[in-house]
Structure 1
Amino acid sequence: METVRTTARPAVWLMLAIMLVALNLRPSMAAVGPLLSAIRGDIALSFGVASLLTMLPVMAMGLAMFVGLGIARRLGEQRTLLLSLLIIGLATLSRLLVDSAAELIASAVLAGLGIALIQALMPALIKSRFPNSVALCMGLYVTSIMGGAAIAASFAPLVLAHTGQWRSGLAIWAALALLALLFVWSQRHNLASPTAKAPRQDALFSNARAWLLAIFFGLGTASYTCVLAWLAPYYVENGWSEQNAGLLLGFLTAMEVISGLVVPAIANRSRDRRWVLAALLGLIIGGFCGLILSPQSLSLLWPCLLGLGIGGLFPMSLIVSLDHLDDPQRAGGLTAFVQGIGYLIAGLSPLLAGLIRDRLGSFEWAWWSLTLVMVVMLLMTLRFDPRYYRRHFR
């Protein structure tokens, strides 16, 4: 992809297309948690096995990241987006017919593969098409991802209540994929790109900074995937209805949307992102401590803190990676590596939390573990001094 400076009107429509595509990247996972008790009432699932509905698509996203950019270069941006949306849509729609845990998990993995192709492509696409507004556009993109999660978490229980079928609550989000397919097709001229020469390949597997960025992204995303999978079941166990627990998860993801939009815009004022990262991690630590010590009292405050922290940390982790390299192709390769390794790390957190719940009878030890992880990440932020970025990627 060559650097393309889009004019105002096409740029707006292209950004809208990106945001609509991004809305499809989390509903297949976010709708599961609020409906889990209904699913477990129909299909035999332990908490450990149920965690696979979040873990395996995230792991698939990580593995597919390593080939996603290569596929995008061969197919082109538009065809990659269309293929990915088609995969997500079919995987989501197939949930109308699932009758076993294996079929439900297979649909989750298939959706994860489609999601990964999009997530591998988007950072490089944004950096090449919006070179002067990378932080803002990444914020809009990630905000839309969180928005899709908020919509699915909030409305999936309402679909269940209206139809009496949890399968409908999982499958209805195929409509979002169809809408995005039509919009991306309408943007085929803005997404058309000349054949790019093969980019320089950085030796990322032997680069210590690339691994630091990947581990930082993975640990931060672990908090997101674990909360996405288990916050609603945690509150159901504390006596809440599925609908209210789903609305609470929707409230958390709404806070993520606000933070994902506002934080990158604030951080754009300075290239040194460390103080922003530290503040976001502090919010997450406060949220987890509240969930553990007082889940019923101030029950909106703790998801608010978690949402504001996680929602800002996700785009900022990618923005810090993009900051290290000016060339869009090399930066895209780095973010694909960071997301690939990071999602493999993050995918383990729902499984570990589910196993902890099965063994100890509570999610509280999972929240304590994630709190400790956030403290470790606070120490890692000290390494992200922009004055020394260039020395790590010569």
Structure 2
Amino acid sequence: MKKILYLFALFIAALNLRPIITSVASMMSMIQTDLGISALTASLLTTLPVLCMGLFAPVATTLSQRLGLERTIFISLLLITLATALRSVDQSVTVLLATALVGGIGISFTGPLLSSFIKKYFPASPGIVSIYSVSMTIGAALASGLTIPIYNQNQHNLSLALSCWAAFGFIAVIFWTLLIRKNKPSSSRSQRVKLPLGNKKAIQFTLFFGFMASMFYSLTAWISPIALSFGYSSQNAAMLLTVFTLIQVPVALLIPNLVNRSGKIKLWLVLCSVSELIGLVLLLSPVPMLLAVIFLGIGAGGLFPLALMLPIMATNTTEEAGSWSAMSQMGGYIMGAFGPLVIGWIFDLSGRFNVSIIAMLVIVTLMISVQLSMNMGRKAVEASKGNEPQKN
């Protein structure tokens, strides 16, 4: 019964990590029109939280060591919820940027600490990251797919469409309040672990996470505008973003299990990257965009849970898992933050997305080269399986 509660805690926390970003991404064109801002400025609404997710990730481990893992996650969820709810206050660029900043800080704490949460309560099951990843994807899909209908059904009320996703946060805050009341703080001090800045494998994980995040957030921010530039309606453009997001759900469930069975994580990393490569080539080809979006969604859906699994598989303790995750997410999200920004900048310069798509092809190629350099095989998977569960 306890494990089910911890799984739900993981699920409801992860559900809140993307709506504050993807709700804006699906509305990018409307926000530009309603507020009269450029594509570059609009990009900041998705770039800023991702940048915060990188810059503040190391703070998560420090707070966790001082306040406790569960309490720090609770505070993070509270920040995300308040930031999302505050978007109901005013329909302005200032409010959107300020809430993107606060929400990004909250996400930066929650991300690496949920990896620690998995290592603490499910040490022999790194595949549990599939629950983490799937929940994030569901939250992202709901926000990207329903924000425009909510906007249209409420007399084009931008504030309501963007702030209604705080409902998920209120549920999470209530549940985690009960959880931290039930779990008394441990009397023993947690081991203080520094970021593995000089570790070659940790650096490879960070570079991979950076290329992966650059692709994910560029696609999330610009799939709809790319579709509009190809002549699709706003509803169909939003539908393509929803397809991109939804297809990641079954993939995120399947890939970690396939890795656990085969032990060949490098193979699955490369296969998922090749899927993204195919999707980008199809975007440049005269074929329906839906086919390209399916390949892109398969690639993104597999790469993210694998990126989460790597630090858990390579470490032995909760603190190490949090430290390695913090480093990979710090460097990775800082790199990833510039993806949507660069795509918007290139589009502003050229007026077309073809050059931007070619730039994404280069990013995926670099990501594959990093994956091939990793020394991760069956031994790492078996080592993570062999960890003894910690007592709760």
TM (norm. structure 1) is 0.91
Distance 1:264 1:18, change over 3 A: same
The equivalent of 2:323 in structure 1 is 333
Report deviation, 1:330.
Answer: 1.2
Matching of residues 125-144 of structure 1 within 5 Å: 125-135=117-127, 137-144=128-135
What SS class does the counterpart of residue 132 from structure 1 fall into? Answer: coil
1:17 to 2:5 alignment: no
Report deviation, 1:55.
Answer: 0.8
Matching of residues 208-287 of structure 1 within 5 Å: 208-287=200-279
What SS class does the counterpart of residue 205 from structure 1 fall into? Answer: coil
Rounded Cα–Cα distance in structure 1 between residues aligned with 2:326 and 2:48: 18
- Bigger CA drift: 197-206 or 219-228? 197-206
Q: Match of 2:88, as an amino acid?
A: L
Q: 1:34 aligns with which of 26, 42, 62?
A: 26
1:350 to 2:337 alignment: no
Rounded Cα–Cα distance in structure 1 between residues aligned with 2:233 and 2:41: 22
What SS class does the counterpart of residue 37 from structure 2 fall into? Answer: coil
Rounded Cα–Cα distance in structure 1 between residues aligned with 2:248 and 2:195: 34
Report deviation, 1:168.
Answer: 1.4
What SS class does the counterpart of residue 24 from structure 1 fall into? Answer: coil
The equivalent of 1:153 in structure 2 is 144
Mark the runs of 5 or more structure 2 residues left unpaired by the alignment.
382-392
State whether residues 236 and 242 of structure 1, in contact with CA within 8 Å, keep that contact through their aligned partners in structure 2: yes
The alignment's C-alpha RMSD in Å is 1.8
Rounded Cα–Cα distance in structure 2 between residues aligned with 1:83 and 1:346: 25
The equivalent of 2:390 in structure 1 is none
The equivalent of 2:170 in structure 1 is 178
The equivalent of 1:90 in structure 2 is 82
Rounded Cα–Cα distance in structure 2 between residues aligned with 1:82 and 1:200: 21
In the alignment of these two chains, the number of paired residues is 379
Rounded Cα–Cα distance in structure 2 between residues aligned with 1:373 and 1:172: 34
What SS class does the counterpart of residue 293 from structure 1 fall into? Answer: coil
State whether residues 346 and 356 of structure 2, in contact with CA within 8 Å, keep that contact through their aligned partners in structure 1: yes
Rounded Cα–Cα distance in structure 2 between residues aligned with 1:195 and 1:304: 49
State whether residues 195 and 327 of structure 2, in contact with CA within 8 Å, keep that contact through their aligned partners in structure 1: no
Rounded Cα–Cα distance in structure 1 between residues aligned with 2:169 and 2:30: 25
Q: Match of 1:386, as an amino acid?
A: M
Rounded Cα–Cα distance in structure 2 between residues aligned with 1:326 and 1:384: 19
State whether residues 93 and 172 of structure 1, in contact with CA within 8 Å, keep that contact through their aligned partners in structure 2: yes
1:383 to 2:376 alignment: no
Mark the runs of 5 or more structure 1 residues left unpaired by the alignment.
1-8
Report deviation, 1:40.
Answer: 1.7
Rounded Cα–Cα distance in structure 2 between residues aligned with 1:28 and 1:17: 19
State whether residues 43 and 100 of structure 1, in contact with CA within 8 Å, keep that contact through their aligned partners in structure 2: yes
The equivalent of 1:4 in structure 2 is none
The equivalent of 1:5 in structure 2 is none
Rounded Cα–Cα distance in structure 2 between residues aligned with 1:386 and 1:249: 32
What SS class does the counterpart of residue 386 from structure 1 fall into? Answer: coil
1:62 to 2:37 alignment: no
Q: Match of 2:372, as an amino acid?
A: L
Percent same amino acid among aligned pairs? 30
Rounded Cα–Cα distance in structure 2 between residues aligned with 1:355 and 1:207: 34
Runs of 4+ displaced beyond 6 Å: 387-390
Report deviation, 1:264.
Answer: 0.5
